[in-house]
Structure 1
Amino acid sequence: MDRLKKQIDFLIEIDKLKGVLRQSLVLNGTRRENDTEHSWHMATSAFILREYYKKEVDMSRVIKMILIHDIVEILAGDTPAYGEFSPKEKYKKEVESANITFGMLPEDQKKEYLNLWYEFENMETDESKFANACDRFQGFIQNVTSDAHTWRKFKPNKSKILKRMRPIIQYMPEVYNGYIKDYLQKYIDLGVVEDDFPVKAIASDLDGTFVTKEKKVTDINREAIIKAQSKGIEFIAASGRDRTSINDLLKDIPNIKYFICLNGARVYREDEIIYEASIDREVSYDIFLRAKEVGLNYSATSRKNIYYSQLDTEYYREFSLENKNFNFIFDEKKENILKEDYQKLVFYGDKEKFKKLREYVEEKYLDKVNIFESGDSVMDIVNKEASKGNALKIVTNDMGIALDEIVVFGDNENDLAMLKDVNYSVAVENAKDLVKENVRYNTKSNEDSGVGRFLNLFLKLDV
């Protein structure tokens, strides 16, 4: 009966967890939450939000981990997440508490639950990553229901909150970007949370935004990006252009890791394609036929094949090379349109012709494609899932950062999707009015190094 006695003694001991109070408020702020309520809410969050954690996990192991993760606080006490404390001292106290409390169990169970506790703390397995994300989410929910009580009490800045939210950002980005990001921004705007501008990446459109009309990168823009990179900030090139053309434009800027190409239809991490989306063959073929009726010229990208009746200017240099990276197929009379997997369709013409094509496409294929103007006399069409905004989410997920840790620059309709998704959104002076209406900040024109000038001030790059 010694085994049973140890188990019952342990169960009686952990009942004390009901008396360990956290900083969060419950029941409309009438009292503080205790650790058992926190663990229950965490476990429920794990079941409800399971679909947003993309790895396969052993849910029974996750729930065990959640139920025992705060047992150490019976002896070690609760440490406020946003308070001032020594992480080293906190961990030392909790290890001592874990050995004492789990040491009450029979040896096999002591070993099992100690290992589970260490697994949660180390956050290396898929189960522990998911459990930690649920831990941070539950604490966040208590802020939602108490009008940001702990933020008001401890006054953490944005960097500190994002550090706390990092497991959600890294492992459940849909939850962070779909809910937490806007709530945090609300309390920044209210002055409850200080925005210390913890920028980890810069994403910029190129034509009309980062480069001049002559397709040059100004010294101010180049130097600002290189200074930012020296501080560990990534530069993300986001363009309607293909990778080869982007490389030509940005040849003087080193160490670019991520490329958003073809208005989001293709994304690179260095030389690896990490995302690609094509338009349905029948849909693109029908759009071609309508564009031909309207009288528009076209250029269409299907991986290494470029079909065109009017060559896209981005391919001029490539076309002139003896050893080309692409196959160029000229279709002057638009009589040889093929059914292919196209990543991007580009049409050239005037506003009246564009209006006719847009009306046709939006009426028939609004659920299948995105259509937008990307420059003067230029209209692009890509897969519905392809946009600079979606591509930016793919990049941030790959980097393990949040959308509100990025500064984004743009000038045209095809930039709106990524500008609307971030809080540090910037329009250059020459941007379309529609773009200026949907950003937080404005800067000088592309001709006047608007990107570099803004970054020098915003990120204090000259300090």
Structure 2
Amino acid sequence: MDRLQKQIKFILEIDKIKGILRQGLVLNGKRQETDAEHSWHMAMCAVLLKEYYHDEVDMLKVIKMILVHDIVEIVAGDTPAYGNYSQAEKEKNELEASKEIYGILPQDQRDELMEIWLEFEKGETKEAKFANACDRFQGFIQNVTSDAHTWRKFKVTKSKLMNRMRPIVNFIPEVYYGYIQGYMKEYLDNGVVTDDKPIKLIATDLDGTFVNSEKKVPEKNKEVINKYIDKGISFVPSSGRDLPSIKELLEDIKDIKYFSCFNGARIFRGEKLIHSVKMDKEMCLDILKKGTELGLKYSGTSNYDVCYSQLDTEYYTEFKLKDSKYTFHSNENFDNLKAFDFEKIVFFGTQDVFKVLRKYVEEKYGDKVNIFVSGDYVIDIVSKKCSKGNALKIIAQDMGIYLDEIIAFGDNENDLSMLTEVGYPVAMKNAKEVVKNIISQITPVSNEEGGVGIYLDEFLKDK
């Protein structure tokens, strides 16, 4: 009976959680939410949102975590998420509270619930990551239904809100981008949330954007990018070029951790390829045949095989290397057309001929490929499954940051997928009209004069 008495005493003790008031409001802002209501609502979120968490989890364990995670507040009290407090003191108080409350139980149940509570607090296991994401989501919901009550009360900045929401973007990103992002923008636009420009990453196109017409990086761009890399902001080149060409072009930029190549068809973390999207070999052959019939020169790359009738300038240095990992297949006379499952095909020619090729490709393969102009005399074809925008999503997810924490620069049609995804899109002064018609922020000068560096220096001057 002693065991039962301890269990009942614990059940009576935790009834007090119904009276622990939180900062968030319920019933459309009419009264404060209690910890008990928060835990119930959070448990329902877990049940319904499980499909967006891509690891298998023990849902019984997740629900147990949710049920016990705030019981310590019966003794320790609620700590406002956006208030000023000592994290170390909070952890100390809550650990002491957990020992007091869970200590009421029989030893086996005390140990089990303490272990589950500590697992949630550490946030390291799959179950804890998912439960923490649900915790942050439920808190966000309460602000949406109470017209941002706690955000207004604590004068929340974008960086604080982003940090609070990070478990969501890390572990259930579809929920963030499908729901939270829209409300975040609304409250930023109306000034409830202050935009303190929490930039974690600078992404930029290269040709026509970060480099000049001589294919050199202006001194201003070098200086500014290296300065912000030193301050902990990452830099990601996002180009139609392949990795060797990008590295050669950016040899004066230090510590580049990610490379988005081939308009997003290849992503490298350092030297390691972490993402690759290829096109069907038979489709590639058909497109090459059509392009050559129109008199267009081409270059196609698959892994480390390059087929070409006109060698892309980005491979000039690699072509001369004796120990190059690339194999080059020349077809200057169009007499030996060879195709692989290419990641990118480039055609060289004039805009008039490009229009004919684009019509053919879009009508026949429009559901499978993206075709876009990437320069005055260049048109690119990549899989529909890839784009510069999708590549940035993958990189952001790998880094554990938001697209909203990225500033990106571009000048051409192939940059729009990237510019329309990030929190801070900027078009170059020399950008094509199709870009400037969509992107309102424009650099004060062109790529020739270091427009990226000049814009960043002003935009991040308080950082």
TM, length-normalised to structure 2: 0.96
> Per-residue deviation at 1:142?
1.3
Alpha-carbon displacement from aligned partner over 1:29-80 (angstroms, at most 9, x marks no partner): 2222221221122112212222322222211111110111011111222111
Alpha-carbon displacement from aligned partner over 1:394-428 (angstroms, at most 9, x marks no partner): 11111111111111111111111111001211111
Partner of 1:231: 231
SS at match of 2:397: helix
Q: Say which is worse superposed, 165-174 or 262-271, in terms of deviation.
A: 165-174
User: Structure 1 residue 101 and structure 2 residue 101: aligned?
Assistant: yes
Identity of matched residues, %: 60
> Per-residue deviation at 1:179?
2.7
> Per-residue deviation at 1:273?
0.4
Q: Distance in 1 between matches of 2:363 and 2:12?
A: 67
Partner of 1:449: 450
Q: Distance in 2 between matches of 1:209 and 1:11?
A: 64
Return 5+ residue gaps in structure 2 as ranges.
Answer: none
Q: Distance in 1 between matches of 2:295 and 2:63?
A: 62
Q: Distance in 2 between matches of 1:141 and 1:370?
A: 37
> Per-residue deviation at 1:377?
1.7
Partner of 1:82: 82
> Per-residue deviation at 1:322?
4.3
Q: Distance in 1 between matches of 2:337 and 2:66?
A: 58
Partner of 1:2: 2
SS at match of 2:273: strand
Kindly report which structure 2 residues correspond to 1:404-419, keeping only aligned pairs within 5 A, or say none. 404-419=404-419
SS at match of 1:347: strand
Partner of 1:304: 304
Q: Distance in 1 between matches of 2:438 and 2:53?
A: 31
Partner of 1:69: 69
Return 5+ residue gaps in structure 1 as ranges.
Answer: none
User: Structure 1 residue 146 and structure 2 residue 146: aligned?
Assistant: yes
Alpha-carbon displacement from aligned partner over 1:212-258 (angstroms, at most 9, x marks no partner): 10011111100101100110111111110000001110111121111
Partner of 1:290: 290
Partner of 1:33: 33
User: Structure 1 residue 13 and structure 2 residue 9: aligned?
Assistant: no
Q: Distance in 2 between matches of 1:143 and 1:289?
A: 57
Q: Distance in 1 between matches of 2:51 and 2:278?
A: 26
Q: Say which is worse superposed, 396-405 or 178-187, in terms of deviation.
A: 178-187
Partner of 1:372: 372
> Per-residue deviation at 1:102?
1.1
Partner of 1:260: 260
Q: Say which is worse superposed, 119-128 or 269-278, in terms of deviation.
A: 119-128
Kindly report which structure 2 residues correspond to 1:184-195, keeping only aligned pairs within 5 A, or say none. 184-195=184-195
Partner of 1:347: 347
Alpha-carbon displacement from aligned partner over 1:186-213 (angstroms, at most 9, x marks no partner): 2111111111111111111100000010
> Per-residue deviation at 1:356?
1.9
Partner of 2:116: 116
> Per-residue deviation at 1:86?
2.1
Q: Which runs of 4+ in 1 moved over 3 A?
A: 320-325
Q: Distance in 2 between matches of 1:156 and 1:177?
A: 20
What number of residue pairs does the alignment pair up?
Answer: 462
Partner of 1:217: 217
Do 1:372 and 1:414's aligned partners in 2 also have CA atoms closer than 8 Å? yes
Alpha-carbon displacement from aligned partner over 1:288-341 (angstroms, at most 9, x marks no partner): 222233332211001111111122121223334444342221112334333411
Q: Say which is worse superposed, 320-329 or 45-54, in terms of deviation.
A: 320-329
Partner of 1:458: 459
Q: Distance in 1 between matches of 2:282 and 2:393?
A: 28
Partner of 1:207: 207
> Per-residue deviation at 1:171?
2.1
Do 2:16 and 2:74's aligned partners in 1 also have CA atoms closer than 8 Å? yes
Do 2:307 and 2:339's aligned partners in 1 also have CA atoms closer than 8 Å? no
Q: Distance in 1 between matches of 2:268 and 2:181?
A: 26
Partner of 2:164: 164
Do 1:66 and 1:131's aligned partners in 2 also have CA atoms closer than 8 Å? yes
Q: Say which is worse superposed, 215-224 or 80-89, in terms of deviation.
A: 80-89
SS at match of 2:25: strand
SS at match of 2:448: coil
Letter of the 2:435 partner, please give it: V
Do 1:177 and 1:402's aligned partners in 2 also have CA atoms closer than 8 Å? no
Kindly report which structure 2 residues correspond to 1:433-448, keeping only aligned pairs within 5 A, or say none. 433-443=433-443, 444-448=445-449
> Per-residue deviation at 1:440?
4.3
Letter of the 2:184 partner, please give it: L
Do 2:351 and 2:376's aligned partners in 1 also have CA atoms closer than 8 Å? no
Kindly report which structure 2 residues correspond to 1:387-406, keeping only aligned pairs within 5 A, or say none. 387-406=387-406
Q: Distance in 2 between matches of 1:56 and 1:311?
A: 47
Do 1:173 and 1:402's aligned partners in 2 also have CA atoms closer than 8 Å? no
Q: Distance in 2 between matches of 1:158 and 1:306?
A: 45
SS at match of 1:49: helix
Kindly report which structure 2 residues correspond to 1:45-64, keeping only aligned pairs within 5 A, or say none. 45-64=45-64
TM, length-normalised to structure 1: 0.96
Q: Distance in 2 between matches of 1:102 and 1:366?
A: 61
Partner of 2:327: 327
Q: Say which is worse superposed, 47-56 or 248-257, in terms of deviation.
A: 47-56
Q: Distance in 1 between matches of 2:145 and 2:283?
A: 47
Do 1:75 and 1:97's aligned partners in 2 also have CA atoms closer than 8 Å? yes
Letter of the 2:3 partner, please give it: R
SS at match of 2:99: helix
Letter of the 1:457 partner, please give it: E
> Per-residue deviation at 1:105?
1.1
Q: Distance in 2 between matches of 1:360 and 1:39?
A: 57
> Per-residue deviation at 1:89?
2.3
Do 1:297 and 1:347's aligned partners in 2 also have CA atoms closer than 8 Å? yes
Q: Distance in 2 between matches of 1:193 and 1:137?
A: 17
Do 1:424 and 1:440's aligned partners in 2 also have CA atoms closer than 8 Å? no
